[in-house]
Chain A
Amino acid sequence: MRRIGRRTAALAAATMIALTGCSTGGGSESDANGGGEGLAPTVSAEKLREHAVGSLKGKTAAFVPVGLGTPLTEEWARQMKRGFEAAGMKFVLRDPNWDTARQAEAVQSLINDKPAVLVVHNFDVQVLAKLIQQAEKAGIYVIQINMVSNYKSDAFVGADTIDLGRRIATDIVKECGAGTNTSHKVQIVQGDATSGFTLDVMAGAKSVFDKHKEIKIVSTQAANWDRTKAHDITSTVIQQHPDLCASWGFWDQMQYGAATAIKEAGKIDKVKVFTSDHSAITCEALRDKLFFQSYGYSVPTQGTDIVAIAKQLLQSGKPPGSSRIADYTPLVKIDRSNWNKQNMCYDGKTDGLTVS
């Protein structure tokens, strides 16, 4: 008993130290650029320009994707670099190369550097939650892209993932649901299970599939955005369920592996491959009849949207952490009928794309 008492005392002491010694970051400070909202409507064009340019010039914007080397992240980085640099800002890019811990390190080091704007592409909903909070406290506007965190920052730019899930699920029900002469079996290939994208798409899907009990989800596995993993998972699933109706993967780059596996099994004519995103590989896969359909979410304009929102935040005069903006980019269905239309797919290099 005495021992337990002593332990409790030690625990209490540790807690006390924790409470008194704990510190999580710098205090918040409000932006000191005057505030665009303070400008009178009759202000001269010159004054307005002065305010707009002054709020941006020489400031730094930083971008931390989960990893470069994919058309998606390269396209974002490209658009942001162009946009920010055109506005007289510095653009910094940190590449954690698909390593959760390194992404956290990168964000941590950026908080130390204090850029004006920080754009993060969250690995999962938790990993950056505390750091985003810290960043906003340190006076940095944080914009999240496509994969949201549990901690909502000033702005989110990306696909309306819940609606995306709903739409694709609805399409699947149309192809595999009641009234179709199929097995109603559906395979789902997720990204990281804790990714905001996965969670939201799953939530959207659930809302549809709950109403269509005939749909049998035969496999829900996380391929962690990895093409090889998706391939390996799917080649097993297709063996167990040769009568599979649809395979739904949450990202075109990853789902391409699943489609290959289905093709290898000789079932690509029977199994309909659904996915989202619209990098060049989607159009090629639709051309080659690997994919059945995909949804584009206007990746090229997401980059420019971020630049626009960052400009708005910087000129607003509002302190970081005080806004909650969500900019959902348009969803466009791409299938074997329309893939070869203009502006459908991006390749991370070619300019001139608007909305697809």
Chain B
Amino acid sequence: MTESVTPRRVTSRRPPERNVPADETLGMKLRHLRRRIALQQVFAELFAKRWMEPAIPLALLVGVVVFFSIAAPGFATEQNLLSSSAELAELALVCLGMAVVLISGGIDLSVGSMFGLCNMVVLLLVTLSGLPVIAAIGLGLLIGALLGAINGSIVAYLKARPFLTTLVTLIIFRGVLNLLDLNFSAQTATAFVLDPIWEWFSTGKVAGIPFSFITLVVVLLIGHIVLSRSRLGWHITAVGASRRAARHAGIRVERVLLLSYVFSGLLCALAGIFYAARLSSASARVGEGMELTVLTAVILGGISLSGGKGTVWRAFIGAATISLLGKGLLLMNVGGEVFQTVLAGVLILAVGLDLKWGKNRGKAIQKTYVNPTIVQYGDLPDCRPGSGSAFEMNDRLVGAESIGVGKVEGPEDVILDKQGRLYCGTRQGWIMRFSGENFENAEIFARIGGHPLGLAFDADDNLVVCVAGMGLYAVTPDGEVRKLTDESNRTWTRLRDDSRLRLADDLDIAPDGKIYFSEGTTRFEMADWILDGVEGRPNGRLLCYDPETGKTRTVIRDLVFPNGVCCSHDGKSFLIAQTWLCRILRYWIDGPNKGRIEVFMENFPGYLDNINRASDGTYWVALNGMRSPAYDLAMRMPVFRRRMMKRIPRDEWLYPSMNHGCVVKVSESGEVLETLWDPGGTAHATITSMREHDGYLYIGGLENNRVGRIKLDNSPAESVGAGAPSVAGTAAS
């Protein structure tokens, strides 16, 4: 029996992604399981999606469809939906025109008049002028564009207000329409057009779907690409968002404005042509009051009246809602006057909800995004002086030499090259290099950006850097910066896109040249990394970049904040320090255990940061902060932490303590050998890394303004020189 149990435990490829106490009860196991399911997280990540912005309008549209499918007989029939789609197409085209103008920061009240006028003109051309239908249609489009251009030039070049301008042109165009109606429409009334192209525009179908709707879909697709992917589209959005900023950016604002009105006119004309072909109604009434319906639709779709915000799909959603609402009410025999009232009610409801949604979405995400889980620790080791424990506090870091005081900000990691020059990253996104006997010459070696964290030299003396917010970069000995990778394969089961690297943290290079690096968390940005600690979920991962293929893949998913990464002395495994779990994992990349993960050491008294090889076959581990009984307790109580986050402001939360750390030396077999402390924390409070070189230990800190150095008195003399590259360089050498 025992035999059958033991091998199974050995072959299990991965220990649980949490600290498991020796005497864990079934109840506790269930609690962990319950906390693993994080519905709140799903909601928060769903809400954060950009495509969730029009959620309310879309929900309303779905609601309208569902409601009328149930309430109105004959609504959810193929015939009705097909005939509705032809009617919808005309409205949606006009809505699209209005949307473009709104996005550009204007408004076009003359859409109804342009629509009516184009309808009339095309009908006159088709019935009375004797022009071929195709020419009449072309001319109709041209006239629409011209009408739009009139609006556009007045607004853009004469600098008139769009509202007044288009209000005036609404009346003028309508006046022209009335004139045409009076003089010509009686003659058009009795003419029947039997041209096939005209017929096609009126009743043509492609695979059963009305031609006008197909046209709408095509226009929507083109509109989407133009608006979201083309220079012109970006210019339109930019002008709408801030005209002054757009002008300063060198955008030709006038031309963009003119074009947006031309689009509006053109789309009104297209809609008018379809209307003309469908109904042949040369009436002055056509398009009367349409501007209100169209405005209602686009606002309902969520296109901002203040400009700079909106998509073609939103315009379509709005148009579809209004159109289907009207159709549904019609089918339910609700009178026309009720329709207006219902429309107004729906608009108030939708706009109100959308406003609330837009206003509170960010807040809701913020409130629910951090999603604490249970993190348990073993008994806190005693570190007090005189306690006699392995972690007993001492003053060995007091009197450490300071390098580059005030010249560096936040050297998370430090490293030395073959010439003994010291490199470190800074929060400005630079790599600093110190040279000279006492490192008195400081220079900016490279400017990468982001916040450079973990450092390592590859076989060709390129400095490989993990840059928070950017990814994995390499700097040649000449200081030339090259991106190695900034993305990995996406986890498709996660809502949140984790293909981009957010927080590349530390790296080491395997004997075969593959770069293994950790990403602390995929859910939080560098500025909020501490929130990952409040959450305590397995959000991090270990990745591997292969310089030969240039590909990056995720090696281990779902790790609780993997921080330090270090190749073992024999080059067969990697040690991974997990900050919030206060433990070190060993991941085998070679040998009989290849692929296996095991817990190397656990229950450190503090939160782990980088881990590096020592010259004597052991390892240096940095503790960036110490655990406290109070916070250990808080980590066991996710409900408490959630409540804390809800009830009190962020600066008063309990956080993992990050103000005092130490350096620990551990053996290959997982024993604590010695510790180095700076008790007052005057020079080295938070220690995030240390690097041994030539008998010295160099110390970095994420929040520090210097790099520290102490002489290691017990370091073996023979390791100096020969041992140095094996410490800082690759394990294989």
Contacts and interface: CB of A to CB of B under 8 A. Distances in A.
B36 interface: no
Contact of B282 (A19, A21, A105, A126): A126
B80 A109 contact: yes
A14 to B, nearest CB: 7
Contacts of A124: 189, 281-283
Residue with the highest number of chain A CB atoms closer than 10 Å, among B134, B280, B283: B283
B409 interface: no
Given A97-B339, A194-B188, A123 B281 contact: yes
B39 interface: no
Nearest to B206: A21
A22 B205 contact: yes
A69 B339 CA distance: 14
Contact of A22 (B80, B203, B335): B203
A9 interface: no
A100 B186 contact: no
Interface string A280-313: 0000000000000000000000000000000000
Contacts of A94: 330, 333
B585 to A, nearest CB: 65
A92 interface: yes
Interface in B202-218: 202-207
A113 B331 CA distance: 10
A193 B181 contact: yes
Given A105-B87, A193-B185, A222-B182, A14 B200 contact: yes
Interface in A80-126: 92-102, 104-106, 108-109, 111-113, 123-126
B438 interface: no
A39 interface: no
Contact of B284 (A18, A109, A224): A224
Contact of B181 (A21, A93, A125, A222): A222
Interface in A146-196: 150, 192-194
B278 A104 contact: yes
Interface residues of A, number: 50
B280 to A, nearest CB: 4
B185 A150 contact: no
Nearest to B288: A99
A229 B196 CA distance: 39
A97 B336 contact: yes
Interface in B275-295: 275, 278-286
A22 B199 contact: yes
Contacts of A202: 186
Interface string B178-203: 10011001101110100011011011
B199 A18 contact: yes
A22 B199 CA distance: 8
A236 interface: no
Given A22-B199, A105-B326, A123-B281, A194 B186 contact: yes
B134 A22 contact: no
B330 A102 contact: yes
Contacts of B713: none
A21 B327 contact: no
A12 to B, nearest CB: 11
B83 interface: yes
A67 B336 contact: yes
Given A194-B282, A224-B285, A112 B182 contact: no
Interface string B157-188: 00000000000000000000010011001101
A125 B200 contact: no
B181 A194 contact: yes
Contacts of B280: 126-127, 129-130
Which residue of B79, B326, B337 has the most chain A CB atoms within 10 A of its CB atom? Answer: B79
B34 to A, nearest CB: 52
Contacts of B200: 14-15, 17-18, 22
Contact of A92 (B79, B333, B339, B340): B333
A11 B134 contact: yes
Contacts of A111: 83
B77 interface: yes
A10 B74 CA distance: 38
A33 interface: no
For B74, B331, B337, which residue has the most chain A Cβ atoms within 10 angstroms? Answer: B331
A222 B83 CA distance: 31
Contact of B189 (A100, A106, A126): A126
B202 to A, nearest CB: 7
Contact of A112 (B83, B204, B206): B83
A53 B74 CA distance: 27
Interface in B50-98: 74, 77, 79-80, 83-84, 87, 90
A198 B339 CA distance: 29
Nearest to B286: A100
Contacts of A11: 134
B16 to A, nearest CB: 61
Interface string A189-220: 00011100011001000000000000000001
Contact of A127 (B87, B283, B333): B283
A342 interface: no
A177 to B, nearest CB: 25
A282 to B, nearest CB: 24
A101 B189 contact: no
A228 interface: no
Interface string B341-383: 0000000000000000000000000000000000000000000
Contact of B79 (A17, A112, A123, A222): A112
A350 interface: no
Contact of A192 (B74, B190, B283, B330): B283
Contacts of B331: 109
A112 B74 contact: yes
Contacts of A42: none
A113 B330 CA distance: 13
A202 B182 CA distance: 13
A248 B712 CA distance: 114
Given A69-B337, A101-B87, A124-B189, A130 B202 contact: yes
A150 B196 contact: no
B330 A105 contact: yes
B321 to A, nearest CB: 16
A240 interface: no
A126 B281 contact: yes
A24 B281 contact: no
Q: Which of A11, A127, A194, A202 has the most CB of B within 10 A?
A: A194
A355 B563 CA distance: 97
B133 to A, nearest CB: 10
Interface centre among A104, A112, A192, by most chain B C-beta atoms within 10 angstroms, is: A112
A14 B203 CA distance: 14
A108 B83 contact: yes
A45 B106 CA distance: 73
B93 to A, nearest CB: 13
Interface in A48-86: 67-69
A276 B62 CA distance: 48
Interface string A16-31: 0111011110000000
Given A125-B190, A130-B203, 15 more contacts: A21-B207, A22-B203, A22-B204, A24-B203, A94-B333, A96-B330, A100-B279, A100-B285, A109-B74, A112-B83, A126-B279, A193-B185, A193-B186, A199-B189, A220-B182
Interface of A: 11, 14-15, 17-19, 21-24, 67-69, 92-102, 104-106, 108-109, 111-113, 123-127, 129-130, 150, 192-194, 198-199, 202, 220-222, 224
Top 3 A-B pairs, shortest CB-CB distance: A97-B336, A18-B200, A127-B281
Interface of B: 74, 77, 79-80, 83-84, 87, 90, 134, 178, 181-182, 185-186, 188-190, 192, 196-197, 199-200, 202-207, 275, 278-286, 326-327, 330-331, 333, 335-337, 339-340
22 contacts: A11-B134, A18-B199, A21-B204, A24-B203, A92-B333, A95-B336, A97-B336, A100-B286, A102-B336, A104-B281, A105-B326, A105-B330, A111-B83, A112-B79, A130-B280, A150-B190, A150-B192, A220-B182, A222-B182, A222-B284, A224-B284, A224-B285
